[in-house]
A and B are shown apart, each in its own frame.
Chain A
């Protein structure tokens, strides 16, 4: 909702001052036309109070309904009709107050009064249309800035999420430990970490890749985790041969595997296996990820956990379907299943 010009005290004052000034001019003109002073004041007051009221109504109604800018005819017609109404009603009221002689003078001057009335209404309408249009533009500008800001925030957040500071710093710490004792391993880890980061940074959200590429990338991530937790982490990645060439949105599986690592590896103590299994069924690429979890400390997440809600949302945006991500827990194994429709 826009602000009316009346919301500012300054404008209200201008409005009143304008009408006082105009009424005085009106009186002077009528005196020139041989009105008595009293009649001149009555005529001027009735005419101008009424015209001011009409202007006020126009200003307020424009606040609620602003016709398109190119509808010049609409504005002109409205002003002419309003001016006509104004003249007729004013004459009708004055007929009860002033004498026959003066009323005749009024009738003679109708064309001039009409022209002035239409002109004044026209000017007021024009000023207000400009005023409201300016506000509309400012509002649009503000909204656009807001949208830009949100988009930027989201992007930064995404980047931070992808980079996972903990993962990065812990990996660097492992390299730090390997450098002296096992330089070759350290070098290998640096290569893996670099490749992983490069992939994370360059991937565009809307790109689709083959399952083979996505699995290679996940393997890289899991290999890095194996350097840190090699003593107890084993992985198992399986896929039907023809599923490898199926396509899926880039990095879709990454959060699922991260979730599996978080609950299956970071929060457990024994030897564990994380498995990824891909197959095709009913023109759907089905990927199943399994990880153990510590039932004592983390209850199986109902529905979709925090890490998986982004996957769920992304699948919904892509396919308008809510049933593509399902999870289940049996004993101490957590199973996440992602389905990707194929064209």
Chain B
């Protein structure tokens, strides 16, 4: 049996997927979810083979939900987003269905999934950068992290700085530190162009919290934040920092 989960906040939208799936053999819809929180729980519980996922949902969007999963299942997006926006995440899903979609189009997606499954087991390799670009388009001013099965939403303005920590990044905020399984480059793309500056290979800093810049060694500096924490600033980092601060 192929285990499927449908995640969409509109019952009618889930109905149409169910209706179209009825013709496919060996499918078992193990759960339907109203939002991303439910989705994370259901996926961890059932370990489905395939999920149908809407993008815009309450609480957290489809992408934020995927980020919270350790082993994301194969995904077919169902969304009303236009083609332009779709291009950003085209690369890392099996397929995307633009609402309203036809039975034929739906069957094609299923076919694509079956073919990919036979040829390549690693279908859900997500392109982190495409993710970041798309998150920017959605205008999400927040980062979602998971701590002991609880989901925490961090507004960007609450972040002091982000630090590289092996395969993870450590997000330092007013309320504590959080780990997230993403690269520094992902955050640089996501946060780029605003009040966040990559001051060092291992640091991205929210310039709002910088109170002082002390010279450290030749051409390098140490930024002192209002929280008292210290962050390294490299030579190139200092150039970028000067630009943002208008020095």
Inter-chain CA distance A229–B58, complex, in Å, is: 13
Interface size of B as a range = 20 to 34
Interface size of A as a range = 20 to 34
Residues of B within 8 A of A178 (CB): 12
B35→A269 contact, CB < 8 A? yes
A173→B58 contact, CB < 8 A? no
A174→B12 contact, CB < 8 A? yes
B59→A174 contact, CB < 8 A? no
Residues of B within 8 A of A268 (CB): 58
Partner of A177, one of B12, B34, B35, B80: B12
A269→B13 contact, CB < 8 A? no
A173→B142 contact, CB < 8 A? no
**A169/B98 contact (C-beta < 8 A), A177-B19, A269-B59 known:** yes
**A166/B56 contact (C-beta < 8 A), A173-B16, A176-B16, A176-B100 known:** yes
If over half of A's interface residues share one DSSP class (helix, strand or loop), that class is named, otherwise mixed; here it is helix
A169→B100 contact, CB < 8 A? yes
Segment touching B, from A21-29, A131-139, A294-302: A294-302
B82→A165 contact, CB < 8 A? yes
B19, closest chain A residue (CB)? A180
B60, closest chain A residue (CB)? A297
Residues of A within 8 A of B10 (CB): 170, 173-174, 228-229
**A181/B13 contact (C-beta < 8 A), A169-B80, A294-B59 known:** no
Residues of A within 8 A of B60 (CB): 297
CB distance from B142 to the nearest CB of A (A): 7
A231→B99 contact, CB < 8 A? no
Tally of contacts, chain A with chain B, CB under 8 A: 66
**A266/B56 contact (C-beta < 8 A), A165-B80, A297-B153, A299-B155 known:** yes
B58→A169 contact, CB < 8 A? no
Q: Does A216 contact B (CB under 8 A)?
A: no
In residues 76-96 of chain A, which contact B (Cβ within 8 Å)?
A: none
In residues 92-133 of chain A, which contact B (Cβ within 8 Å)?
A: none
In residues 59-73 of chain B, which contact A (Cβ within 8 Å)?
A: 59-60
CB distance from B46 to the nearest CB of A (A): 20
In residues 64-89 of chain B, which contact A (Cβ within 8 Å)?
A: 80-82
Residues of A within 8 A of B16 (CB): 173, 176-177
B157, closest chain A residue (CB)? A299
A170→B58 contact, CB < 8 A? no
Inter-chain CA distance A166–B81, complex, in Å, is: 7
Inter-chain CA distance A228–B12, complex, in Å, is: 7
CB distance from A76 to the nearest CB of B (A): 57
Q: Which 5 A-B pairs have the closest CB atoms?
A: A169-B80, A173-B99, A177-B12, A173-B100, A176-B100
Q: Using A174-B12, A294-B58, A296-B59 as known contacts, list a sample of 5 further A-B pairs with CB atoms less than 8 Å apart, ordered by residue number in A.
A: A172-B99, A173-B99, A173-B100, A176-B101, A180-B19
Interface residues of B (CB under 8 A from A): 9-13, 15-16, 19, 34-35, 56, 58-60, 80-82, 98-101, 142, 153, 155
The contact sample of 18 A-B pairs, CB cut-off 8 A, is A166-B56, A166-B81, A169-B99, A172-B99, A172-B100, A173-B12, A176-B99, A176-B100, A180-B19, A181-B19, A227-B12, A229-B10, A231-B11, A266-B9, A266-B56, A266-B58, A269-B34, A297-B142
